[in-house]
Structures are given as structure tokens and as C-alpha cells.
Chain A
Amino acid sequence: MGGFESIKDLQEEKQTFLTRAVLAALLCFAMAMLLLSRLFNLQVMQQDYFQTRADENRMRVTPVAPVRGLIFDRNGGLLAQNKPAFVLEVIPEQVADLDALLERLSPIVSLTDKDVARFRERVRKSPKYRGVPLRTNLSMEEVARYEINRHDFRGVDVTAGLTRNYPLGASAAHVVGYVGGITEEELRRVDEAKYQGLSQIGKIGVEKSLEDLLRGDSGAKIIEANAYGRPLRELDYRRGYPGRNLVLSLDSRVQLVAEQALGELNGAIVAIDPRNGEVIALVSKPGFDPQMFVEGIDTKSYDELLNDANRPLFNRALQGQYPPGSTVKPAMAVAGLEYGVDPGHREFCRGELTLPGSTRKYRCHKREGHGWMDMSDAVMKSCDVYFYLLAMNLGIDRIHASMARFGLGRVTGIDVPLEKGGLFPSREWKLRVRKEAWYPGETLNVGIGQGYTLVTPLQLAQLAARIAMRGYGFKPHVVHATEDAITREPALLAPQPLERIELKSEQNWARVIQAMEDVAQSPGGTAYRIGHDAPYRIAAKTGTAQVAGMKQEELVARKLEATPVHLRDHAWFIAFAPAEAPRIAIAVLAEHAGHGGSVAGPIARQVMDQALLGEVRFDPDAVPPPVARAVAPPTEDVEDAVDVEVPAPAPTVPPPAPGTPR
């Protein structure tokens, strides 16, 4: 050891060490500078960027669903409300094994097979990152049991929310509609940003057509959350705004009476206030319970509804297309008058008509014949032969031109979705669709509302309303007003006037209306039984529409009871009242119920009694009916007449004071 040490040059070694130590110090300093320059880059140059990233890490924007607008009838009665409810939701993408989860949940909340089936259905349809309700209306016990065990259930949440509720159940369900879970397809169609935090969307009825107003604006909570997503505190809150309430023109009392009057029959009733186009009642039977859809309907129940032979989901009032039968006769009479038919001219009805050069017999519903008929008699007694002859003389082109003015064969544009247009045939239509020429014989059938003609009950109610108003009219609608959910400030939706049906002479209106009054007031009128004892004057027309596919000969030959139900005639009844100052126009359809006068007429009478005599808080007479006045002085200029004389026909409904669920 000592030997080595003696060789060492201690001085040189120390010198080397000094150099190396200085170099090492410089190296350390350089490394420190390298660190600092990096820190400068991160903390000064890129500070904003990293600050943003840090905020993005910790802040979660949680949408706050808006409260959906309430729906009232014209008296302030609730048609749709929101009820507080606890909902158990599952976010599918956060759950590894759905089956195992359901298994583990079953001791905690009660789950029926229906719940599970419908849940699976909705999981399949909705996006994976959105919560899917498994159970609604949890009891407090169930909520408590879940809360105790919630750490075991990742991706499961109980939310205290509001569920849509329809207090009247099936009543008016076709008009009000319902909400249901948003499907993936619907989500693609709408602006998803507007559905933050919402799981339901209007599916049919007003819930669908006024979805944008009812929905409201989502608010948002900005929440600080930790790395595991657990929310810690609220940083910011952006208020949303509840959806607007709707005040419908429906009168739920009239609606209920109408539904009851129809009884077990399938059919439809539409009652319109002719002075402003507001729909007072709109019935389609059979109905359905909209509540099923809110809670998410399972496939089995839905299939049952869909496959029900009576088609409860089908809104007959707007979607059902039927031959109008004799109910077109007043409009036909108008056409005749317009093209110069002398109302006093008489034709002889011997129960049937045979065209020259043809063997085909066109029968009148009265087999022994009506005898001599002028126009008024023909309407009153619904003589088919007279109208065969009238139609033949007018020809299809003139009939089509005149009937189109009453809106037959066209959608009315009502604010309830899925309305059908029906069909009023023309030469052009037949060539285009059937690729066939028009046969003169077909014109005769059109003249009594058969043949190709198809109308909806709504169209016939509108037809009655326009005759009642001597050509004036409004687009039918069910939404009377909307109101701000917080301030309750209403915004009336102005009725939309239609162009007046201008006749060559006001006299022609008077003649047709008189004829319709005779139907209900004169002995021998087809609705005399309905109208003669009413405390107000009814103007009406009955109709008995043959079901397509039956030959006229067969029908006449057989008695009603002997005919299979699905081939029996549809019973129609249209009316307006009081005839001198109409406040209601109505169309009643009873499917396969036989004769219009005997079946549909009494139903219409019950509805009109409720509407005109019943204790109705909304009193139409409190407001001067502007259009009724407008009719009186006939004016030359149609446009002016409408614009000037129809200033604000909407009666101001006192803002409803509903029994709010809040």
C-alpha cells in the first residue's frame, strides 16, 4: 500500500481535482439552467395552455333539464303535468355486464319482467353514453336501499326528476299526445345541444308538434370533480328556462261528453268553433293510455296496441279517411247554385235512376222514391236521385272545382301532427293515378259522396264550419295560447283566417243554410228527431257512407243486422248551431254503425248540448264574435272583408288558474 502512495504525485493530483471540481460545478449549474429553461417554457410560455388543461380536468358541465311546459284545456284544467319521481337510471357504457348488474339490483329495487324487457329494448335503441331509465317512480324505501349500496353500482344512478303525467288518461290522448324516451334516430334529427339532460321527447299530438315550445332551455351546473369523477362542489350555475305552458282550445268537459256519447263505437268526433277555428273537442275511439309511453312501453304491450284490430293508436279524426256519403250534399247544392241551377227546379225521384244507354241502376236510399224534389227538399230528405242528376249536369270538373273550395281532399293544416288529406277525385287525378279516363257514371257517385271520395272527420267539421260562416273560415287549431311558465304572461296565437268562399250571391248561402236547418227542424228532415226539440236551432246533414267494396245492389238488398260488421255503413252527422249565430260546428263519424240520422245524430246532439248549454266557464258570448258580424254586410272585396272585418277574432280567455302540481 505504502508503495503505491509514494509514487503518487500529490500536487498534480490536487491540480487535476481542482479542474475537475470546477468543471463539475459548471456541469451542475448547466443542468440547473436546463431545468429552469424547461420550467420557464412550461410555467411562463405555456401557462395559459396548461391552466386550461387543468381546468378541463377538474370541471364537469352537468346539464340541468328544464321543466316541460304544462298543458291546459280552455278552462284551465290540466291535460299534462309533471310529477316528481325518483328514476333509476343506468348508463350502459359504464357497466361491464348488464345481466350481472340486473341480478345484483333485484334485491334492492323491485323489477318486473316488463321493466327489464323494456329496459333492454331502450338500451338497444339509445346511445351508450346516455342514461337509460330502468325503473320509474321508485318508493322511498327503494331509494334508501339503493343509497346505502350505491358504491357497488357503478354506472347506476337515482335521479330525482319529474315525469310527465296525463291526469285525464286516455281522454284527449290523441290530441295531447305523449312523451317518450329519445331514440338514437330522433337524436340524430334534433339539435342534441337542446336535449342536454333530457331523456324524453314529444312523440305524437301537441307534445310533438309544439315540442320546441314545451321543452324549454337546459341550464348547466359547472361542477368541480376529482379524477374519479366524484363531484366535489359547484363552481357555477347557469339558469335554464322552463318550457312554455300551452292553453288548448279543447274543452275537456265537452271532450268527455263526446267520448262517452260515442260509447263502445269506433269513430271520431270533431267540434270546431266556427268563429275562430278553435277545436273544442277532438275524439278518436278507441283511445289509449298515454302514460304507458312515458314510463317506456315494453315491446309486448306496444305490439298489442299496434296489432289491435280497432287500431287505438290511429287518430281517426285526422288520419281516418272515409267516404263522406250524403254529408257532401249541402256543398253540392252550393255548387249547383253557383253554376246557375234554379233552386226551385224540381226533379222526380222514383227510387232509382238509369242513365240513357246504360242498364246500370243508380239507387236512392229510399227505394220507393221521394217523388217531386226541389233542391231544398233534396237536401232535407237526402234524395240521391236529385243529386245524381245535379252531378251529371254539373260534370266532374265543375264539381271538383267547387268542392275544392271547401277544402275537401286537402289537409286543413291543424296543429296536430299526422293529418291526412283525403281525396276528392278529378279527371286529372284519375288519369295520373289510375291511368284511366273519367267515366260519366262515376260523376254520379261523387255527387252523393261515394265513389273515390275520401274525407277525414276534421275536414267535414271544417266544411260545416265554413257553411255556418257563409264562406268565412279559419285554419282549425287546438292551441289557443301559450304562456310563460314563470311570469304566466300569455301569448295568444291569432287564428289564421282563410280566404272566404265567395259565392255569386249571398242568397245562395242563405238557401243552403235554410235547407240544412230544415234537415233538423222540419218534419220529414232526416234529422228532425235530433233537432226539433233542441232549445237552439240546429242546421245539420246526415250521411250514411257505404264501405268501399260493397256493391250498391247488395247493400240495399240486405238488412243492417245481416251485414258483417266490417262491411256495415259508416254513420255520419255534420251540424252547426245555433243556426242564426253559429258557435259550434261538428262532425261525428261512427264506424260501421249504420244510419247517420239515428246513430251519429244523437251523439252530436249530446256534444252540442254540453257545448252550448253546459256550464262552461269560457263564455264565447262574452266577446263579440267578429266574424259573425262580418257576414252580415256582404262586401265586394273578399280580401278586404277578411282583413278589415276580422281584426282579432280570438276571444280572450282568462289565463287559466290551474291546480298546479308545484
Chain B
Amino acid sequence: MIGEVLRSVRGAGSRKPEPGFSDWLETWHIDLWLLVLLCAVAALGLTVLYSASGHSEAAVMSQGRRFALGLAVMFVAAQAPPEFYRAIAPWLFAGALVLLVLVLALGDQAKGAQRWLDLGLLRFQPSEVMKLAMPMTIAAFLHMRPLPPSLFTILLTLILVGMPAALIVVQPDLGTALLLVASGGFALFFAGLQWRYILGVFGAIGAAAPIVWERLHDYQRQRILTFLDPETDPLGAGYHITQSKIAIGSGGLFGKGYMHGTQAKLDFLPEAHTDFIFAVYSEELGLMGVILLLSLYLCIVGRGLWIALRAQDTFQRLLAASLSLTFFIYVFINMGMVMGLLPVVGVPLPLVSFGGTSMVSLLAGFGMLMSIHTHRKLLAS
């Protein structure tokens, strides 16, 4: 399926642009830039997944199907106009909130956390829905308010952000909660949140840190402690980071070569095809490969911001910018944790890590970006 998509894209580039190709793209509300960049990252991801999963074609096929499903969702999402999203935002938000409560009440346990909801046919994480609902809702809310936001508006926004974040923290899933807060926060930031508040928030975080520390789960504290000095416990809690740093560092400038990474191949690197797949990538393709991947990610964010700049109303602007920035925060947190800059919080590398719902919700978000970019009106409101 990906192949078909890629072929159609390549085909489009190799031939002389048919009269009407860009018309066709516009008709179907597709942003070619985003599509190509996302496919490029996904292609790299599938390639390294084959190596990281120990030559598992099953893993690659399953991940490929998921990407295709994501692309389909993206196409569908791109067809609806931004106004639709603004309209459904509150309902989606409310629905996701209910699901989060349900998860706590009767969700499945996995790895000591309660994140999954089994709805018979679908087994998914409501927090993924919230990842979309959150920026949509905040953007829609701020769209109605005079900007820059008043203190009252800010407080209301914080309540909107705080409710689902709190529900996710107690699952417990600190990483996702932080990302949710970030996506809401970015919307506020782009809406023109005053600098004094921004500084105030960071000050407050600094002050609150010790209190939060007291309330963290043991495993979360342990992650932070071993993050600070992983070598103290090389066989226990620090094993992930130590092995991951060894994988990255031993890759060098040009890497050990595709499928020649010893750390992943010999099982020294845990979760090599999920959260730590970036370590495999760096080990096999080296610093040069990483620069390529990082450039692709930056281009995606750049394109997202460009779409935001060209957007025609406040909702679209805030939504587009918030989605783009959150996407990059994903990338930053995953890479940062894999290379030992940040604590291990369990955030996958977008489009590359093996995994389910996050891929679909992510591409759905890009579908909204395309929708914003391609449903242009004659006159901006």
C-alpha cells in the first residue's frame, strides 16, 4: 500500500506535471510537501524497523499496514473543512474525557499502567484521542476570546488542559500528560500569552518541582534518578540508557552499516524496535543518518508552521501551529531520552517506532493540517 502511494508520488514527480495534477491535489485537499516528507520519514522508519525487529517481515508489514491506515485517515481528515473541526472540538473533548474516566474505571492493565480501553472491536488508548482533542479544543476556545488572552481566559484554558492531564497522570502516563499540557500550552503561546505569564509558569514549575517529586511513583522517580546517573545501576534501572548510549556512541559518524548494529542484533538494547528504535538507527547509520532524519522532521515542522502562518482564522492558526510544535516535541523527547539527555518517559519516535494508535492519531493531525491548508476561502474571516 505504501508502495502504491510512493509510486504515485514518484510517478507524479518523474513525468512532466500533467495539466491538472495540482488541481487534482487541491480537489482532494492534499498537501504534497507534507505527504512526501511524512512518507520519507515512514520509509526510513520501516527500513530501520526491519533491522531493529531482527528481520521480522511480520513487524514491517504490520507497521506498514498501520501507516497505510494512518494515511487513509489523513486523507479523510483532510476532506473536512476546518470549521467542522472547530464545531466538533468540544464534543470530541468531552467524549475523550469520558473515555479517560472509563479507562481508570475499567481499563486493561499493561506494564503497571492503566491506559488501554477494550471496546470489543477496538482496543485503544483514549489518551491518543485526547492528543487531538486538546489542541482543537484550546484553539477553538481561544478563537472565541479576544487575544492576547485575558487572565480569565488563561485560567479557563488551564482548567481545560488540566482535567485530562490529571486523568492521564494517574493512569499513570507522565509522558503523555506532559505532551498534552505542551500542546495546550503551545496554543496559548501562539495566541500571544504574555511573557510575564510564561516566565511566571516556569518559575512556578521550578517551585513546584520538589512537591511533584514527593508525589511521583517509585518507578518514575527511579527513572529520573537513573537518568541522572545511569552507570550507578548498569544492570538494573540504568540498563536501558547505558545500552542505548553504547549503541549510539559506537555508531560513530557513518554507522556500523545497515543491519550490522550489534547492540540491537544481540539483544543488548531493550525495546529496540519500539521506544529505543532511534538507538538502532544511530548505531547503524551514524551521525550522518541522524542528520538526515532530523532534517526531515524539521522540514515537517517548518511546513506545519508555514501552513499556520497562511491560515485564515485564529482557530486554524493555533491548531496548525500547536500540532506542528507538539510533533517536534515528540521527536525531541524521544531522541533526548534515547541519548540520555532526558528521563525515560516512554514516548515513541513519531512515524518510526513500532506501535499502534499514536501513528494513526498523528496522521489524523496532519490530515487536519492539510485541511487547513487546502480549504481556503476567498476572504479570510
Instruction: Say whether B339 contacts A42, CB under 8 Å.
Output: yes
Interface mask (B255-281 → A, CB under 8 Å = 1, otherwise 0): 000000011011110000000000000
Instruction: Answer whether residue B166 sits at the interface, using C-beta atoms and an 8 A cutoff.
Output: no
Which chain A residues in 31-74 approach chain B with CB under 8 Å? 31-32, 34-36, 38-40, 42-44, 46-47, 49-51, 53-54, 57-58
Instruction: Say whether A44 contacts B192, CB under 8 Å.
Output: no
Q: What is the chain B residue whose CB lies nearest that of A23?
A: B189
Give the contacting residue for B268; candidates A35, A39, A58; CB below 8 A. A58
C-alpha gap A226/B266 in the complex (Å): 4
Which stretch, B59-67, B127-135, B217-225, B245-253, touches the partner chain A? B245-253
Query: Helix, strand, loop or mixed for chain A's interface?
Result: helix
C-alpha gap A42/B336 in the complex (Å): 12
Instruction: Say whether B298 contacts A28, CB under 8 Å.
Output: yes
Q: What is the chain B residue whose CB lies nearest that of A2?
A: B144
Instruction: Answer whether residue A16 sits at the interface, using C-beta atoms and an 8 A cutoff.
Output: yes
> B287 — which chain A residues lie within 8 A by C-beta?
39-40, 43-44
Instruction: Answer whether residue B13 sits at the interface, using C-beta atoms and an 8 A cutoff.
Output: no
Which stretch, B37-45, B102-110, B118-126, B300-308, touches the partner chain A? B300-308
C-alpha gap A227/B243 in the complex (Å): 11
Instruction: Answer whether residue B94 sits at the interface, using C-beta atoms and an 8 A cutoff.
Output: no
Instruction: Answer whether residue A433 sits at the interface, using C-beta atoms and an 8 A cutoff.
Output: no
Instruction: Answer whether residue A237 sits at the interface, using C-beta atoms and an 8 A cutoff.
Output: no
Instruction: Answer whether residue A224 sits at the interface, using C-beta atoms and an 8 A cutoff.
Output: yes
Q: How large is the interface on A (under 10, 10 to 19, 20 to 34, 35 or more residues)?
A: 35 or more
Instruction: Answer whether residue B148 sits at the interface, using C-beta atoms and an 8 A cutoff.
Output: yes
Chain A residues within 8 Å of B, Cβ to Cβ: 1, 4-5, 7-9, 13, 16-18, 20-21, 24-25, 28-29, 31-32, 34-36, 38-40, 42-44, 46-47, 49-51, 53-54, 57-58, 224-228, 232
> B250 — which chain A residues lie within 8 A by C-beta?
47, 50-51, 53-54
Instruction: Say whether A228 contacts B321, CB under 8 Å.
Output: no
Interface mask (B292-324 → A, CB under 8 Å = 1, otherwise 0): 001001100110010011000010010001000
> A35 — which chain B residues lie within 8 A by C-beta?
294, 332, 335-336, 339, 341
Give the contacting residue for B294; candidates A1, A5, A36, A227; CB below 8 A. A36
Instruction: Say whether B146 contacts A39, CB under 8 Å.
Output: no
> B145 — which chain A residues lie within 8 A by C-beta?
4
Instruction: Say whether B249 contacts A43, CB under 8 Å.
Output: yes
> A34 — which chain B residues lie within 8 A by C-beta?
341
> B246 — which chain A residues lie within 8 A by C-beta?
50, 53-54, 57
Instruction: Answer whether residue B348 sits at the interface, using C-beta atoms and an 8 A cutoff.
Output: no
C-alpha gap A228/B265 in the complex (Å): 12
B246, B290, B305 — most chain A CB neighbours (10 Å): B246
> A58 — which chain B residues lie within 8 A by C-beta?
262, 266, 268
Q: What is the chain B residue whose CB lies nearest that of A47?
A: B252
Q: List 28 A-B contacts (CB under 8 A).
A: A1-B144, A9-B146, A16-B192, A21-B321, A25-B301, A32-B297, A32-B298, A34-B341, A35-B294, A35-B336, A38-B336, A42-B249, A42-B339, A43-B248, A43-B252, A43-B253, A43-B287, A43-B290, A44-B252, A47-B253, A50-B246, A50-B249, A51-B252, A53-B246, A57-B263, A225-B266, A226-B267, A227-B266
Instruction: Say whether A57 contacts B262, CB under 8 Å.
Output: yes
> A232 — which chain B residues lie within 8 A by C-beta?
266
B146, B245, B249, B290 — most chain A CB neighbours (10 Å): B249
C-alpha gap A42/B147 in the complex (Å): 44
Q: What is the chain B residue whose CB lies nearest that of A53?
A: B246
A5, A9, A17 — most chain B CB neighbours (10 Å): A17
Query: Helix, strand, loop or mixed for chain B's interface?
Result: helix
> B186 — which chain A residues lie within 8 A by C-beta?
24
> A36 — which chain B residues lie within 8 A by C-beta?
290-291, 294
Q: What is the chain A residue whose CB lies nearest that of B143?
A: A5
Instruction: Say whether B247 contacts A54, CB under 8 Å.
Output: yes
> A28 — which chain B residues lie within 8 A by C-beta?
298, 301, 325, 328
Instruction: Answer whether residue B286 sits at the interface, using C-beta atoms and an 8 A cutoff.
Output: yes
Instruction: Answer whether residue B374 sits at the interface, using C-beta atoms and an 8 A cutoff.
Output: no
> B305 — which chain A residues lie within 8 A by C-beta?
21, 24-25
Instruction: Answer whether residue B114 sits at the interface, using C-beta atoms and an 8 A cutoff.
Output: no
Instruction: Say whether B146 contacts A17, CB under 8 Å.
Output: no
C-alpha gap A490/B249 in the complex (Å): 54
C-alpha gap A51/B336 in the complex (Å): 21
> B252 — which chain A residues lie within 8 A by C-beta?
43-44, 47, 51
> B50 — which chain A residues lie within 8 A by C-beta?
none
Instruction: Say whether A20 contacts B192, CB under 8 Å.
Output: yes
Instruction: Answer whether residue B190 sits at the interface, using C-beta atoms and an 8 A cutoff.
Output: yes
Contacts A24-B325, A39-B248, A43-B249 given: A17-B309 contact, CB under 8 Å? yes
> B341 — which chain A residues lie within 8 A by C-beta?
34-35, 38
Instruction: Say whether A16 contacts B147, CB under 8 Å.
Output: yes
Which chain B residues in 214-253 approach chain A with CB under 8 Å? 243, 245-253
C-alpha gap A16/B308 in the complex (Å): 13
C-alpha gap A35/B191 in the complex (Å): 28
Instruction: Answer whether residue B282 sits at the interface, using C-beta atoms and an 8 A cutoff.
Output: yes
State how many angstroms separate the Cβ of B166 from the closest Cβ of chain A: 26
Instruction: Say whether A50 contacts B248, CB under 8 Å.
Output: yes
Instruction: Say whether B321 contacts A24, CB under 8 Å.
Output: yes
Contacts A43-B282, A44-B287 given: A16-B309 contact, CB under 8 Å? no
Give the contacting residue for A17; candidates B144, B192, B253, B265; CB below 8 A. B192
Instruction: Say whether B298 contacts A46, CB under 8 Å.
Output: no
C-alpha gap A50/B244 in the complex (Å): 10
C-alpha gap A172/B262 in the complex (Å): 55
Give the contacting residue for A50; candidates B245, B286, B336; CB below 8 A. B245
C-alpha gap A51/B250 in the complex (Å): 4
C-alpha gap A51/B255 in the complex (Å): 11
> B248 — which chain A residues lie within 8 A by C-beta?
39, 42-43, 50
Q: Which 7 A-B pairs have the closest CB atoms?
A: A50-B249, A54-B250, A227-B267, A16-B192, A226-B266, A42-B249, A50-B250
C-alpha gap A28/B336 in the complex (Å): 13
C-alpha gap A40/B287 in the complex (Å): 7
C-alpha gap A23/B246 in the complex (Å): 34
> A227 — which chain B residues lie within 8 A by C-beta?
266-268
State how many angstroms separate the Cβ of B187 from the closest Cβ of chain A: 11
Instruction: Say whether A29 contacts B298, CB under 8 Å.
Output: yes
> A47 — which chain B residues lie within 8 A by C-beta?
249-253
